[in-house]
Amino acid sequence: MAKSPTALSLETGMLAFARSVQITEGLFFATSEDHPGVLTPVEILEKGVRGQSSEDKAKNPGLSNPQSVEYAVIPQGHDGVRLSFSIRFMPLSLRPHACNNTDVGAAYERLATAYRTAGGFRTLALLYIWNITNARFAWRNRFQSDAMAVRVKTGDGTILVFNSFLLKLDTPATRDDLVAAMVEGDQEGIDKLIDGVAHGLSNEDQEAFVVKVEWNAAMEPGQEIFPSQEYVREEKADKQLSRVFAKLPTFHGGRELMQASMHSQKIGAGLRHIDIWHGSEEHEAPISVNPYGGVQETSAVLRDPKSKRSFYDLRAKAETLITGVEAANSPEEISGDAHFVMANLIRGGVFGASGKKAEVNG
């Protein structure tokens, strides 16, 4: 009697995908229009402030609340700021980094292969480029200026510059939108950028596609900027500081100083605002890709288990998911669920199934 074929499954006890979008720590520099070649590291400094107790059930409501905080400002003699970092797009979603079930591993490879064949990686590439060019990664700093531009340089020397204000934060940009927002470069360069990111995410030769990104904005001397804020564990907390910023040591002007920085994780969270398929009517804007659709700013969870639209709920329907992508002839024919699942694999992480599921599918 012939053995029945094994049902498709994407669930197993040990499963992990390596991160496909690797980002360096971002560094802040002060710039000057009069001296365009001069970059001055923005220094993290400390100051004492006298606030007022205003939190709910404060111990001393309305009274002075002296505290020391770290801060960063544009130094005198400068009229702008630059945030610079690099991104490596790598094809690490094509197969698991770790998997204890060969059939499950093969199912993920089948899904990724079909997704590449149908052009799905190009859809994700355009979404990532949208969040690079609209400067979402600058977060709060993006609203500190009325004039800004994002400069993108690829490994082959192609340089593209975009006016970020011409790109929306709540509506994904099309290729034509990118062309309209471009202030330096040409359409061929945009096509090369989209193709490069898609190739970096999906090629079988393990070739990374690297882009260097600079966000340049006009700001006044003394204007405050906002690096990443450190989360400091209780045992390591400096009791003298109530706010600690991210910083990296550097040398400038013959002395060592601590340069303001943006965590790679925070930049990555901005670039991952590509979940346009969550389906929430209350939150129509894109959110950062994560298995449960959590929104840190509001504590909303748009893909909780009750919705049946979490990463884990969707991958449980392996047969529907994989065959649906295999039947697609273009990115437009790929379901939003499949785009979301692949975006999570690109994000990377540990996706092992719970004990009972692992036993059933193991």
Q: Give 132-147 pLDDT, tens digit per residue.
A: 999 999 999 999 999 9
**Separation CA 317–CA 25 (nearest Å):** 37
- In one letter, which amino acid is 342? M
Exposed / middle / buried, residue 231 (Cβ in 10 Å: 0-12, 13-18, 19+): exposed
Sequence ranges of the domains in the chain: 15-34+66-229+242-272
The answer to whether residue 241 scores a pLDDT higher than 80 is no
The pLDDT confidence band at residue 47, using thresholds 50, 70 and 90, is: confident
Tens-digit pLDDT profile for residues 305-334: 999 999 999 999 999 999 999 999 999 999
Which pLDDT belongs to residue 341?
Answer: 98
Which pLDDT belongs to residue 54?
Answer: 65
The answer to whether residue 152 scores a pLDDT higher than 90 is yes
What does the pLDDT average to over 31-42? Answer: 92
Which pLDDT belongs to residue 68?
Answer: 83
Q: Lay out the sheet containing 241-243: strands in order across.
A: 45-52, 64-71, 241-243
The pLDDT confidence band at residue 253, using thresholds 50, 70 and 90, is: confident
The answer to whether residue 2 scores a pLDDT higher than 50 is no
The answer to whether residue 358 scores a pLDDT higher than 60 is no
The answer to whether residue 235 scores a pLDDT higher than 60 is no
Comparing 254 with 58, which gets the higher pLDDT? 254
Which pLDDT belongs to residue 127?
Answer: 98
Which pLDDT belongs to residue 355?
Answer: 63
What residues does 134 pair with on adjacent strands? none
Which pLDDT belongs to residue 101?
Answer: 96
The answer to whether residue 58 scores a pLDDT higher than 80 is no
One-letter-per-residue 3-state SS of 70-108: EECECCCCCCEEEEEEEEEECCCCCCCCEECCHHHHHHH
